[in-house]
Amino acid sequence: YLGNVSRRVREMLWEHCEALMEDGNIVMAWQTNTESGFDFQTLGKNRRMPIDHDGLRLVEFFPVDGENPP
């Protein structure tokens, strides 16, 4: 789903997705007044973790089970 919704609606959508997620993964991104122009959050067992790098939001990938982190 793509759309331009308010923070309140975004939070309500997140709650519904979280409640129905089961074994899946969720990523939600939205436009902001940041260097990159967007922000995002993730949820799920195999999720990618948002990190801040000098004010820029990047994605840190968790290692695959059994692998050593870089």
CA pair distance 1, 23, nearest whole angstrom: 19
Amino acid at 60: E
What is the reported pTM?
A: 0.70
Question: Is pLDDT above 90 for 59?
Answer: no
Question: Is pLDDT above 80 for 37?
Answer: yes
Domains, the chain, ordered by start: 7-61 (3.30.70.240)
CA pair distance 15, 36, nearest whole angstrom: 25
CA pair distance 69, 65, nearest whole angstrom: 10
Confidence category of residue 14, pLDDT binned at 50, 70, 90:
very high
